[in-house]
Amino acid sequence: MAIIDFFDRGWRANPGGTAYVMGETAYSFTEVRALSCQIANQLLAEGFAPETKGGVWSQNDPIAWTCTLGLWRAGLAWIPVGPAAPPEQNAAILDAFDCEVMFFQSGYAAAIEQVRPLLPRVRRWICIDQDLPGAPSLANWCGAADNSAPSLDLTMDGVAAVMPTGGTTGLPKGVMNTHRSIQTFVAHYLIAVTYGADDRPVNLAAAPMTHTAGLLSLPCTARGGTVVILAKPDPATMFEAIERHRVTELFLPPTVIYRLLETPGVETTDFSSLRYLMYGAAPMSLDKLKKAIEVLGPVMTGGYGQTEAPASISYLRPDEHFVDGALASDQRLSSVGRPNPLIAVEILNAAGQVLGKGETGEICVRGDLVMKGYYKQPEKTAEAIVDGWLHTGDVGHIDVEGYLHITDRIKDMIISGGFNVYPNEVEQVIWSHPAVQDCAVIGVPHPDWGETVKAVVELNPGQSVTADELIALCKAQLGSVKAPKSIDFIDALPRSPVGKVLKKDLREAYWQGADRKI
């Protein structure tokens, strides 16, 4: 199925039902479908060919997401634009990915004027919510277009999205996800997240829809369910939305879950409608995971994926957090679940050989979930996909029960005096302290050992702990080699739009002038 077919499946099942709601405004499947058809037909009338690149520069918004649906309906490839990123950074990505169409909210008009000269390939600008010079409003641009679906023969291996990687070194690469790879993600989700035949899921899109939350809305609308859209993941607003709309599923990165658990009112919020709260995009503190299960109920759903293998390499379903009615062991809870059924996942060594159960190596994936490649970077594609295997850059192992464990990112591993230290192991110990909101463990220069372990810690409001206390805690549980040699406290860790801590940004200050890539 092409991506747009999943929305149309929901429209056929529930044409008069609410597809999206934001605030007091609801949008039916029929209304959204008609507008997406008008957008698609106008794009086609202006000569935009299949796989032409189109961007949407907006906060979470139903009409902005409908523009993405319109791009897909016309066979174009969507470029997600991070609205919180600096305009120059977005412009560099859009230019590198050959963007030719740009939809944007008027709130970003100043940024658009700033970057227009940097985007010579863009030949159509559309302001979503009002007429601006050189950018007609969406209504005036496509309002006269036919609102029936255009007839297109979309190939499964056609590029449906060019999605920027995290950009930890230089300009982000453009991941070419196809209709096939995104279809595989949707299929994995529909297998793992089950509802009754007549149940309508209610998905809360609180995280950015330009990232995982957007893709996670697709299985919901495919079932004729409703997506409740929030501009940002504010805990109090989420509490109200969950109760009001009887939300059944949502995705949040761990850092937002931590903040949610510390928010006054969480204990009195009615979470009884929730069936799945998916966490992922970064490692999760085991202690905070257990607290989330206690506060929110048996709804936690672990997820592991990459932009290159979108959002569904493996899932740890809610029931897998338990064994015989009791909370599962830390060994199970620290996993990211069993690999999903439509792909192969193996642990490979440096020579490309498959390792056995419990052996540590690089997590590699093959199958229909894997990207087509990096846009205009065949050499990077060849480095990432070898003999059909996507090399994730994650170190891990598969245990005897078949559960996948991520030790850490290869590039984040610290080599101190010849010993390998995986930051996540140290972070789990620091996270266990009740005063700690979040932390990041990094390697910093050392004249004798090459690098040494440092922790950068963000505390819960009104709470305190000393560096010596945290170091002693780590020594007691991990030994002196893995324990941090120093700890810095920071008001707020640098994070990506999806809440992932940017360790590169942290390392940069400590490695200035050092002979090492950060």
Q: Of the CATH numbers 2.60.120.620, 3.30.56.10, 1.10.1740.10, 2.30.38.10, which one belongs to the domain with range 343-410?
A: 2.30.38.10
* Locus of tokens 């060594």: 349
Q: What is the DSSP letter of 283?
A: -
pLDDT digits (tens, 9 = 90+) for 244-273: 999 999 999 888 899 999 999 999 999 999
What number is the average pLDDT over the span 461-471? 95
pLDDT digits (tens, 9 = 90+) for 174-193: 999 999 999 999 999 999 99
442 vs 444: CA distance, rounded Å: 6
Q: Please, what is the average pLDDT of the chain?
A: 94
User: Residues with Cβ < 8 Å from 53, sequence gap 6 or more?
Assistant: 76, 77, 79, 97, 98, 99, 100, 101, 162
pLDDT at position 462 over 50: yes
User: Residues with Cβ < 8 Å from 462, sequence gap 6 or more?
Assistant: none
pLDDT at position 163 over 60: yes
510 vs 369: CA distance, rounded Å: 38
Amino acid at 145: A
In the chain, pLDDT over 70 holds for what percent of residues? 98
pLDDT at position 167 over 60: no
| Element at 205 (helix H, strand E) | strand 202-205
467 vs 464: CA distance, rounded Å: 10
pLDDT at position 517 over 50: no
Instruction: Print burial letters for 169-179: b (CB count within 10 Å at least 16), e (below 16).
Output: eeebbbbbbbb
What number is the average pLDDT over the span 187-210? 94
Q: Where are the domains of the chain?
A: 28-177, 343-410, 413-511
State the pLDDT at residue 169.
Answer: 47
In the chain, pLDDT over 90 holds for what percent of residues? 83
State the pLDDT at residue 318.
Answer: 98
State the pLDDT at residue 514.
Answer: 65
> Three-class SS of residue 86?
coil
501 confidence band (pLDDT: 50, 70, 90)? confident
State the pLDDT at residue 499.
Answer: 76
β-bridge pairing 25-28 and 53-57:
unpaired
Nearest to 441 by CA among 404, 418, 407, 417: 407
496 confidence band (pLDDT: 50, 70, 90)? confident
* Locus of tokens 């044409």: 15
Residues making up the chain, counted from first to last = 518
Q: What angle do CA 286, 288, 291 make, to 5 degrees?
A: 115
CA 53 to chain centre: 21
pLDDT digits (tens, 9 = 90+) for 281-327: 888 999 999 999 999 999 999 999 999 999 999 999 999 999 999 99
State the pLDDT at residue 515.
Answer: 53
118 vs 88: CA distance, rounded Å: 8
- Beta-bridge mates of residue 413: none
* Per CATH, domain 28-177 is 3.90.1300.10: no
What CATH code would you report for 413-511? 3.30.300.30
Nearest to 288 by CA among 404, 428, 406, 403: 428
Yes or no: say if 256 and 232 are a contact pair by the CB < 8 Å rule.
Answer: no
